[in-house]
Amino acid sequence: MKTTYKNVFKQGPISSEFIGASIAKHQSKTGIGAHNIFLGQVRADEIDGKAVAAIEYTAYEEMANKKFHDIRETTFEKFNLTCMHIYHSLGTVKTGEICLFVFVSSPRRKDVFKALEYVVEAIKKEAPVFGKEIFEDQSHQWKVNS
């Protein structure tokens, strides 16, 4: 029997409108006092004189969604959060576009700072997501998280 986990992935970049709409949705939750949002943006790194133009994301999706689920559970156990959302891009995300959106909310600010950093670090370390850095000349190299 296979458990199905919430799908964290979105095809292509995460738009600023989507992020704005996500913030607006929380205005009915009047127990919230503090939101903290992390956005990962694709950087035009220069490597050996060639600039990155885009990252093409792939993932071992079933395992990644399970990991995202586990990270959520652990984060809710560790910190006093009202809610939490994670979205990660798949496919091509150009430089300047957003590929990761993590959103945590709590009655109080102390919790959101610790929780957000915890979640982002866990994603970088544990989620089987792979990034192909595409250069302007269409050559590529594989990204590795530091």
Partner 1 sequence: MHIEIKYFGMLAEVTGCSSEILELSVTPVSGLKEFLFKKHPGLQQKDFRIAQNQELVSEETMLTGQEIAILPPFAGG
Nearer to a second copy, 37 or 63 (CB): 37
Stretch that binds a second copy, among 3-11, 68-76, 114-122, 126-134 (CB under 8 A): 114-122
For partner 1, which stretch binds (CB under 8 A), given 20-28, 46-54, 110-118, 137-145?
A: 137-145
Candidates 6, 23, 62, 70; binder of a second copy (CB under 8 A) is 23
Residues from 40 through 69 that contact a second copy (CB under 8 A)? 40-44
Kindly tell me which of 66 and 95 has the beta carbon lying closer to a second copy. 95
109 binds partner 1 (CB under 8 A): yes
Cβ atoms of 134 and 52 closer than 8 Å = yes
Spell out a b/e string for 131-142, using b for 16 or more CB atoms within 10 Å of the CB, else e. Answer: bebbbeeeeeee
**What's the closest the beta carbon of residue 134 comes to a second copy, in angstroms?**
14
| Binding to partner 1, residues 69-98 (CB under 8 A) | 88
Own/partner long-range contacts of 133-138 (Cβ < 8 Å, ≥24 apart): 133/45, 133/47, 133/52, 133/54, 133/55, 134/52, 134/53, 134/54, 134/55, 134/56, 134/92, 135/47, 135/50, 135/51, 135/52, 135/53, 136/50, 136/51, 136/53, 137/50
125 lies in the binding site for partner 1 (CB under 8 A): yes
Take residue 137 and report the two structure tokens written for it. Answer: 């000349």
Residues found near partner 1 in the complex (CB under 8 A): 40, 57-60, 62-64, 66, 88, 99-100, 109, 120, 123-132, 142-145
